[in-house]
Amino acid sequence: MKFAVLAFPGSNCEMDLYNAIKDIIKEDVELVSYKHDSLAGFDAVLIPGGFSYGDYLRSGAIARFSPIIPALQDFAKSGKPVLGICNGFQILTEAGLLPGSLQKNVSAKFICKTEPLVVNNNHSMFSSEYKAGQLIDLPIAHGDGNYYCDQATLRDLVANDQIVFKYQNNPNGSVDNIAGITNKQGNVLGMMPHPERAVEAVLGSDDGKGVFQSIVNHIKSRGVIYE
Give catalytic residue positions: 86, 194, 196
**Residue with smaller CB distance to other proteins, 50 or 190:** 50
List interacting residues with other proteins (CB under 8 A). Answer: 9-10, 12-13, 15-16, 19-20, 49-51, 53-56, 109-113, 139, 141, 143, 194, 196-197, 199-200, 202-204
Q: To the nearest whole angstrom, how small is the minimum distance from the Cβ of residue 112 to other proteins?
A: 5
For strand 2-7 and strand 44-47, is the pairing parallel, antiparallel, or unpaired? parallel
Residue among 12 and 168 whose Cβ is closer to other proteins: 12
Q: Is residue 95 within 8 Å of residue 69, measured between CB atoms?
A: yes
Q: Contact 80/187 with Cβ under 8 angstroms?
A: yes
For other proteins, give the closer residue by CB, 194 or 218. Answer: 194
Say how far apart CA 46 and CA 3 lie, in whole Å: 7
Residue 18 or 75: which CB sits closer to other proteins? 18
CB of 161 to other proteins, least distance (A): 31
Q: What is the DSSP letter of 1?
A: -
Closest CA to 210 of 202, 198, 221: 198
Q: Is 46 helix (H, G, I), strand (E, B) or coil?
A: strand
Whole-Å CA distances, 118 to 42, 79, 164:
30, 25, 8
Residue 132 CB, nearest approach to other proteins (Å): 28
CB of 222 to other proteins, least distance (A): 29
d(C-alpha 74, C-alpha 35), whole Å: 16
